Amino acid sequence: MNAKVLDTNVLLDRPLEQTLASMDPCRIVIPLAVVSELDGFKGLDDSRGYCARQAIRFLDSLRPDLHRGVTLDSGHIVVVEVNHTDVELPGFLSKHNSDTRILAVSKGYQKADDVVLVTQDMCIRIIADVLGIKSENFVVEHVDVETLYSGWAKTSISDEEVQDLYEYGRIRSTGSYLPNQYLVMADSAGGLHYGRFGSGVIRLLGKEAGAFGISPAPNNREQVFLMDALLDPGIDLVSVLGPAGTGKTLLALAAGLSQVVNQGRYDKLVVTRELIPHGRDIGALPGSKYEKISAWMGSVFDNLQYLVKNFSPGKYDERCNPAQRVERFMEEGFIELEALTYIRGRSIPGQWIIVDEAQNLTKENIKTIITRAGKGTKIIVTGDIQQIDNCRLTPANNGLVTLIDKFKGQDIYAHITLSQSERSTLAGLGVALL
């Protein structure tokens, strides 16, 4: 029977049940050295710690026959294998090294099975090849970024359809569009009209809507589409993909403040993100949870201060500076900043949730957040796949692109890809040239 020996990094990539589901039925061999390494990761608060704990619990549920092999309903046989001490390996490979013991298990299984070592470690794959051991990379699910759903498309309409569009506010369409896909419709004179598809018709977008003093930038149709999706209570999930300076976070915050503070449609605006440093980590931060999180939320505070600087209802002192106004909004419970670490286990009803920098999240992280949503909650997921700080993710396998690929076509979901930088000429050149 074919056998696959799993390295530790494979078990840390995603829950073990999902790893097994991605493989054809075979003998799954987990070296005892791998179990020992999992024990060292189980205390971490990140995705590796979560996957380590899941793997340990899964293996514990298979006792007491792990040493003989346990047959699962899927047809896999899972066995935890002790070190093959009788296997001869080159002397320069330390016998006390976990990688060496994993290689020894793989070499030992060659005597009875067609064995493949599955590892994400390129060096181990090279050494395995030298030792005559078959090896392969554990390739996670990838999304074709080049063909990723943009959320909108171009089409042409007749003069009669233009007349009906403005007279009735909608026209019937036989095009193969997805629910909540936005359309740029060109008429015979070269005029452009914006609409959104749903239930077999294209509805004309209303006048450019604003929120909390912010409107889409002039001639930026992508921001027009985004604002429409943000302000539509029938859309529960909005994803926004775009490079720096395109207005992702600013528009999401403006729409959220408008519907929390002005309209009272949601109880609170919650902003969360994965706390991954850009560059070298400066270590643990002092202070309370709020003080620690604030150090990671600088960009969010910048946008909030910009939004509230002209907000002056009677109960707020006109002399307050923007930073003090933001603090007052938080004290009154309108705004909450939360680390992604504390999201798991919560049920969050009636809130406007912004998941910022989502390109640094795994598919499992995104699933955790989406499944926290209670009734009346709207989630906005923003990110830039050109700025990934999580070394275990790529533009093709992060949680944001996975969400876009899986949710497109759902009636309660809309996506917009932004491309036009509005921050400054310098920022736009930085995106284009670097």
Which mean pLDDT values do the consecutive 10-residue runs of the chain (434 residues) have? 90 87 90 94 85 93 92 93 74 80 87 84 92 86 86 95 94 92 95 94 86 90 96 96 91 94 93 63 55 66 83 60 83 83 74 92 86 92 89 84 95 95 70 65
d(CA 356, CA 227): 17
What is the pLDDT, as a whole number, of residue 146? 86
Domain ranges of the chain: 3-136, 213-433
d(CA 220, CA 226): 10
CA neighbours closer than 13 Å in the CB half-sphere of residue 127: 19
Question: What does each C-alpha distance from 338 to 42, 289, 365, 394 come to in angstroms?
Answer: 23, 9, 14, 25
Q: Among 96, 98, 118, which Cα is nearest to 2's? A: 118
Could you say which DSSP state residue 360 is in? G
Q: Is it true that 3-136 and 213-433 share their CATH fold? A: yes
d(CA 238, CA 253): 13
Instruction: Supply 288's token pair.
Output: 């309370």
What is the pLDDT, as a whole number, of residue 347? 76
What is the pLDDT, as a whole number, of residue 281? 47
Question: Residue 46 corresponds to which amino acid?
Answer: D
The domain 3-136 is placed in CATH, from the list 3.40.640.10, 1.10.645.10, 3.40.50.880, 3.40.50.1010, at 3.40.50.1010
Secondary structure (DSSP) of 38-90: HHHHTT-SSHHHHHHHHHHHHHHTTTTSTTT-EE-TTS-EEEEE---TT----
d(CA 417, CA 223): 9
What is the pLDDT, as a whole number, of residue 285? 53
What is the pLDDT, as a whole number, of residue 279? 46
Question: Which position has the token pair 């207005």?
Answer: 247
What is the pLDDT, as a whole number, of residue 422? 75
What is the pLDDT, as a whole number, of residue 15? 84
Question: Which position has the token pair 């999240």?
Answer: 361
Secondary structure (DSSP) of 143-164: --GGG---SEEEEE--HHHHHH
Q: Is 354 helix (H, G, I), strand (E, B) or coil?
A: strand
Sheet of 115-118, strands arranged across: 70-71, 77-81, 27-31, 3-6, 115-118, 135-136
Question: Which position has the token pair 């390295």?
Answer: 7
What is the pLDDT, as a whole number, of residue 227? 96
What is the pLDDT, as a whole number, of residue 359? 92
CATH of domain 213-433: 3.40.50.300
Task: Please check whether residue 130 is in contact with residue 16, taking contact to mean a CB–CB distance below 8 angstroms.
Answer: no
What is the pLDDT, as a whole number, of residue 293? 61
